[in-house]
Amino acid sequence: MQSVHTMSAFDEELKYLAKRIAAMGGHAERMVEQAVAALVNADPGLAQKVIRDDIVLDEGQREIDDKAIIIIAKRQPMATDLREIVGAIRISADLERVGDLGKNVAKRVVAVTDGRQPTSLFRGLEALANLALTQLKEVLDVYASRSVDKIGFVRDRDEQIDAMYTSLFRELLTYMMEDPRNITPCTHLLFCAKNIERIGDHATNIAETIYYIVTGDQMPAERPKSDKTDKIGLPAALPVK
């Protein structure tokens, strides 16, 4: 009975880690959503809320790290269980970084809204954010269900994000060239777009970690790129990933 009891306590610990990851994921999504909403609606109050909220993810990552190390030391897990714990450490690091990127977007709200930009630019950024957030949500769903057989969607989605980022990058440059007063706010929007594009990369990292947890194998290192800026020697007006 003792052994069954111990196993079950261990399972509880693993479940707790997974639950904390899910909570971190939800929090990271909300931060990004609100940061983009603050930008689009020129809402510095909401931006400040997002900036304050970031500490939750910093603490979440620290708690998961500490818990994971205690579990490893106490339970000395092997194989799948060990991958589960190491995976939790990695995913929480990616989610903490997503929060940082959301916070960085929030910090740019005043700089961008000082010189109010054409609405179409915000629409572009919103669309990019929606795509990256959908990617993140779907990946977190895969984490919950562990059904990695359909994980290929991650790469397609990432290609879409890259393509949309490329088009937004060009558009922002043309606004800057049209009127020097657009340069400063559009520079901050370029960084916002880059941050959101990076959120897609972190979602892809998380997908790779989930694949590793479930299968024990690494997904191939290099994923195909569609933004065609991977090679040097391309026109300067293309973004570089």
> SS3 for 222?
coil
The residue within the footprint of its own copies, chosen from 40, 88, 91, 112 (CB under 8 A), is: 112
Residues numbered 44-73 forming contacts with its own copies, rule: CB under 8 A: 44, 47-48, 51, 55, 58-59, 62, 65, 69, 72-73
Which pair of structure tokens corresponds to residue 41?
């609606």
- In the complex with its own copies, the residue whose CB is nearer, 133 or 213, is 213
Burial degree of 8 (CB within 10 A; 0-12, 13-18, 19+):
exposed
The residue within the footprint of its own copies, chosen from 21, 28, 32, 109 (CB under 8 A), is: 109
- Using rule CB under 8 A, residue 22 touches its own copies: no
The residue within the footprint of its own copies, chosen from 22, 42, 56, 86 (CB under 8 A), is: 86
Side chain identity at 93, as an amino acid letter? A
Q: How far is the CB of 190 from its own copies (least distance, A)?
A: 6
> SS3 for 175?
helix
Residues numbered 142-201 forming contacts with its own copies, rule: CB under 8 A: 173, 176-177, 180, 183-185, 187-188, 190-191, 194
Q: How far is the CB of 76 from its own copies (least distance, A)?
A: 4
- Using rule CB under 8 A, residue 225 touches its own copies: no
Long-range contacts of 208-215 (CB under 8 A, 24+ apart): 209/87, 209/90, 209/91, 209/94, 210/87, 210/91, 210/139, 210/142, 210/143, 210/146, 210/148, 210/151, 211/148, 211/151, 212/83, 212/87, 213/80, 213/83, 213/84, 213/87, 213/146, 214/146, 214/148, 215/148
3 CB-near residues (< 8 Å, 6+ apart)? none
Instruction: Please give the residue ranges that form the binding site for its own copies (CB under 8 A).
Output: 44, 47-48, 51, 55, 58-59, 62, 65, 69, 72-73, 76-79, 82-83, 86, 89-90, 93, 104, 106-112, 114-115, 173, 176-177, 180, 183-185, 187-188, 190-191, 194, 218, 221, 229-230, 232-238, 240-241
